[in-house]
């Protein structure tokens, strides 16, 4: 009995210690790049961009959407579209259920119709926390409907990509989304409407080779990893060592594959200005 009391006391002390450590971690955050200890509140205000070295820490899709859209201007679209398991892939349903619980999202993409600095747009943001932002049938459907909706309402589209590529649990159905989304983009384009593709960390595989690269304006976030195949696969295939900055946003900009690299802190002002200029032209 005495042993039980000690055990309880020890447990209480260790719980308090854990709580304290967790609290400290939420108050302060260490920048993984420059190692500076930052106030989490200040870091959050700068959209998770380090004030010391400008390193971009991950930001979740809903927070990015809130930061981008004018207050109370957003209306979520296609929120109920969610993945099924068309190939009966083992454990896929369980993995989807666990990602839904972890992220509070129904799919690896959220879409909103809202305003950025007073200009209307449809914004789609991928979330790499949900099945690594992989593109399955539901994600493809949501994106195709985004362009369809924007074409009907004559609105510009901004897509923030973050993806590990195609969703392997959906096999060929996943790859088919690349064509489906591309058709919807082309219809939007033929209607004379603006599409801004905005690649964030990481944008890889089939996503990088389709809708992420075919904007009228192609942007990327500072330091983002962007590429089709992995670095090691390429090095082994071509038997050459690749430069250190290979597959970074900055490397792609230097080689003419992007129009600009944007610091997340300037994201809203940057996109708002483009939309405003576009409104004045059309
Ligand atoms: Zn830093």
| The pLDDT value given to residue 233 | 86
| The pLDDT value given to residue 246 | 86
Residue 148 predicted with pLDDT over 60: yes
119-126 and 157-163: which strand pairing?
A: parallel
Poorest-confidence range of 135-139, 141-145, 202-206?
A: 202-206
Q: How far is the CA of 53 from the centre of ligand 1 (A)?
A: 4
Instruction: Determine if residue 176 is labeled as part of a ligand binding site.
Output: no
What pLDDT, in 10s, does the model give residues 58-69?
999 999 999 999
What pLDDT, in 10s, does the model give residues 248-266?
999 999 999 999 999 999 9
Q: Give the whole-number percent of the chain exceeding pLDDT 70.
A: 90
Tell me the sheet residues that pair with 162. none
Query: Taking residues 237-255, what's their average pLDDT?
Result: 90
| The pLDDT value given to residue 242 | 86
Distance separating alpha carbons of residues 178 and 196, to the nearest angstrom: 17
- Angle, vertex CA 249, rays to CA 207 and CA 106, nearest 5: 40
| Element of type H or E holding 159 | strand 157-163
Matching residue, tokens 């949900």: 130
Q: How far is the CA of 226 from the centre of ligand 1 (A)?
A: 21
95 burial level (CB within 10 Å; 0-12, 13-18, 19+): middle
Residues 157, 121 contacting (CB under 8 angstroms): yes
Residue 3 predicted with pLDDT over 50: no
Distance separating alpha carbons of residues 165 and 145, to the nearest angstrom: 20
Judge if pTM exceeds 0.85: yes
Where helices occur in the chain by DSSP H, the ranges are 2-27, 40-45, 61-68, 92-103, 137-152, 171-190, 205-208, 231-238, 249-254, 267-281
Q: How far is the CA of 41 from the centre of ligand 1 (A)?
A: 15
Instruction: Determine if residue 53 is labeled as part of a ligand binding site.
Output: yes
Query: Taking residues 123-149, what's their average pLDDT?
Result: 96
| The pLDDT value given to residue 26 | 85
Residue 245 predicted with pLDDT over 90: no
Residue 240 predicted with pLDDT over 80: yes
Q: How far is the CA of 201 from the centre of ligand 1 (A)?
A: 16
Phi, psi of 27 (to 5 degrees): -75, -40
Query: Taking residues 216-243, what's their average pLDDT?
Result: 90
Cβ neighbors of 102 (< 8 A, separation 6 or more) are 129
Distance separating alpha carbons of residues 143 and 160, to the nearest angstrom: 11
Q: How far is the CA of 109 from the centre of ligand 1 (A)?
A: 28
Q: How far is the CA of 193 from the centre of ligand 1 (A)?
A: 38
Q: Which residues in 126-142 are b (16+ Cβ under 10 Å) and which e? A: bbbbbbbbbbbbbbbbb
Q: How far is the CA of 273 from the centre of ligand 1 (A)?
A: 28
Distance separating alpha carbons of residues 202 and 221, to the nearest angstrom: 10
Q: How far is the CA of 173 from the centre of ligand 1 (A)?
A: 41
Distance separating alpha carbons of residues 56 and 41, to the nearest angstrom: 15
Q: How far is the CA of 6 from the centre of ligand 1 (A)?
A: 43
| The pLDDT value given to residue 132 | 93
Structure tokens, 85: 């398991």
Residue 28 predicted with pLDDT over 70: yes
| The pLDDT value given to residue 21 | 59
| The pLDDT value given to residue 16 | 58
Q: How far is the CA of 57 from the centre of ligand 1 (A)?
A: 9
Instruction: Determine if residue 34 is labeled as part of a ligand binding site.
Output: yes
Query: Taking residues 98-126, what's their average pLDDT?
Result: 97
pLDDT, the chain, mean = 91
Residue 4 predicted with pLDDT over 50: no
Structure tokens, 148: 């369809």
Instruction: Determine if residue 50 is labeled as part of a ligand binding site.
Output: yes
| The pLDDT value given to residue 17 | 56
């Amino acid at each position: 009995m005495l042993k039980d009391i000690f055990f309880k006391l020890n447990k209480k002390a260790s719980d308090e210690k854990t709580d304290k450590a967790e609290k400290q971690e939420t108050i302060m955050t260490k920048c993984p790049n420059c190692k500076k200890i930052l106030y989490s509140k200040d870091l959050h205000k700068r959209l998770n961009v380090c004030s010391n070295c400008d390193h971009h820490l991950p930001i979740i899709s809903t927070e990015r959407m809130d930061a981008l859209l004018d207050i109370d201007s957003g209306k979520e679209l296609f929120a109920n579209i969610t993945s099924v398991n068309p190939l009966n892939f083992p454990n896929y349903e369980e993995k989807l259920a666990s990602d839904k619980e972890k992220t509070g999202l129904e799919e690896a993409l959220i879409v909103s119709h809202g305003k950025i600095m007073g200009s209307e747009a449809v914004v789609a943001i991928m979330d790499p926390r949900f099945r690594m932002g992989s593109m399955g049938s539901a994600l493809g459907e949501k994106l195709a409907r985004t362009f369809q909706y924007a074409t009907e309402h004559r609105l510009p589209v901004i897509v923030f990509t973050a993806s590990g590529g195609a969703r392997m649990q959906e096999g060929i159905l996943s790859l088919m989304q690349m064509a489906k989304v591309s058709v919807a983009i082309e219809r939007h384009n033929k209607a004379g409407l603006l599409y801004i593709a905005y690649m964030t960390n990481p944008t890889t595989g089939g996503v990088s080779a389709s809708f992420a690269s075919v904007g009228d304006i192609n942007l990327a976030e500072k330091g983002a990893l962007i590429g089709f195949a992995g670095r090691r696969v390429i090095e082994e295939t071509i038997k050459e060592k690749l430069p250190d900055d290979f597959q970074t946003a900055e490397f792609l900009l230097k080689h003419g594959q992007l129009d600009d690299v944007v610091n997340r802190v300037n994201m809203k002002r940057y996109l708002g200005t483009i939309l405003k200029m576009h409104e004045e032209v059309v």
